[in-house]
Amino acid sequence: MNQRMDDSMGSKYEDIILSALGGNHYYTNEDIRMNKKYDFLLTNSELNEYLRFKEDYLSEYKCDLPLKSFNSKKIFYYQALELLYSVRDYTDFFLNDLQIKNSTIVSENYNEMILSRLSSELEGSLEIEGVNTTRKKILEIMESEKVKDTNEQIIFNMFQGYKFISSKPKFDKENLLKLYKLLSYNSLKKEDELKGYYREAMVVIGGHDGCDVDKIDECMNSLFDYVNNHLNDNPMQFMLLPFIAHYYILYIHPYMDFNGRTARMVSLWISILMEKVAILPAYISEAINDDKNNYYKAIDDTRNSHNDLTYFLIYLCKLSNQYYLIYKNVTAIRETLALSGESITSTEAHYLKRIIVNKKKGWFNYKGFIEFCNLNITKQGALKILNNFLNLKILTSKLNSRKEKIFILNENMIKYELN
């Protein structure tokens, strides 16, 4: 390609970046490679050139992070409007709550969300990695502190990990090792057990290589430095920092197993250290569990774009917004019920949240309810719960063509519409 063509293509690539930054959607590789909607249609070689151009592009809206990369020039993200608006929306949510109620949905539900609802957080994290269990079982394990099998051990370990980070230990190499040992205690295959701080063999995750063994220490040290230098940053950074660390641990993959679990716990750890946990989305593991495919796609989009973190950050910020509204709706429904002297238990609130999450699916029967609540109960048990919601006017019902009772959320009870 001659210089004139290079200049022409460079201008085209710059136009794509500027369009992505200023629009309501930050283009993925599929958008500019295969999707006629945006009329770019880059060839494979042009896409590779574009990714290199975007990686090197200098802009006041581009943030090059001081995190070590093992397979690209840098780790970076763009302050695209889609990201800025997502952060703004979340900030507006809790600022409005603070102004009206002097509290946020997270702070109002903090004990329930982090302690009694720790079961939901654990269930969310475990579900991502294929460990099926129930909320009731998790609570029993936490209370009894007795384990019978590997799955119960993992649940108990996560509770111990949460207690450890709640003591606000410094985010450093030694304490990360302590957290990992708590999370993985008596749960690893013999060949996966640590001999030092990090793994000593190569790994491939979802088609992506983990960091070279001899570079892990240097990369992780860059994460410790970055996090500790930015714990008191500006409002935008306080939301992004836990998510950046979340991705980076997945990217480096410092262990043979339990990397995802560790990444999500580190994200919460950093929120606690920033003293923003009553504002930041402590429910993120639960939210991810409801959206696993898009979670993995956000990781892939980031990895396949030379570690352009914009995709991962937009995804988690938007997901945080959705779940904030879900919790606001549950709180509003509880307040409405209280006006007539009615109430629902914490367990019923958990089921209600699952119904709200799945409301776009429309009408459902008892089997659908059991499935999206991950329950191990009988038809009679499920219908008892659903009929109670029906009596409270949280749900409405009808008979389908098979004379089967089906249910749907009463939209009149939904005060905050989800996107």
Say what the pLDDT of residue 263 is.
94
- Tens of pLDDT, residues 14-61: 999 999 999 899 999 999 987 677 888 899 999 999 999 999 998 999
CA–CA gap between residue 159 and residue 261 (Å, rounded): 12
Say what the pLDDT of residue 110 is.
62
The CATH classification number of 354-413 equals 1.10.10
The CATH classification number of 78-326 equals 1.10.3290.10
For helices 310-339 and 346-357, give the axis angle rounded to 10 degrees. 130
**Residue type at position 110:** Y
**399 or 134, greater pLDDT:** 399
Angle (nearest 5°) at CA 312 between 104 and 372: 65
Phi, psi dihedral angles at 399 (to 5 degrees): -100, 135
Say what the pLDDT of residue 114 is.
56
Contact (Cβ atoms closer than 8 angstroms) between residue 269 and residue 280: no
pLDDT over 60 at 130, yes or no: no
CA–CA gap between residue 272 and residue 278 (Å, rounded): 9
CA–CA gap between residue 361 and residue 286 (Å, rounded): 19
pLDDT over 70 at 252, yes or no: yes
As a whole number, the mean pLDDT across the chain is 87
Identify the residue whose tokens are 């369009």.
19
Q: Please report, for the chain, the start and end positions of each structural domain, with discontinuous segments joined by +.
A: 3-59, 78-326, 354-413
Identify the residue whose tokens are 């690893």.
188
- Tens of pLDDT, residues 214-234: 999 999 999 999 999 998 876
Structural tokens at position 389: 């919601």
Q: Residue 5 — very low, low, confident or very high, per pLDDT cuts 50/70/90?
A: very low
**Mean pLDDT (whole number) for 164-193:** 94
- Tens of pLDDT, residues 292-307: 889 999 999 999 999 9
**Mean pLDDT (whole number) for 330-351:** 92
pLDDT over 60 at 117, yes or no: no
Say what the pLDDT of residue 146 is.
75
Quote the strand ranges of 109-153, DSSP E.
none
**287 or 5, greater pLDDT:** 287
CA atoms within 13 A on the CB side of 144: 12
In sequence order, the 6+-apart residues with CB closer than 8 A to the CB of 208 are 300, 303
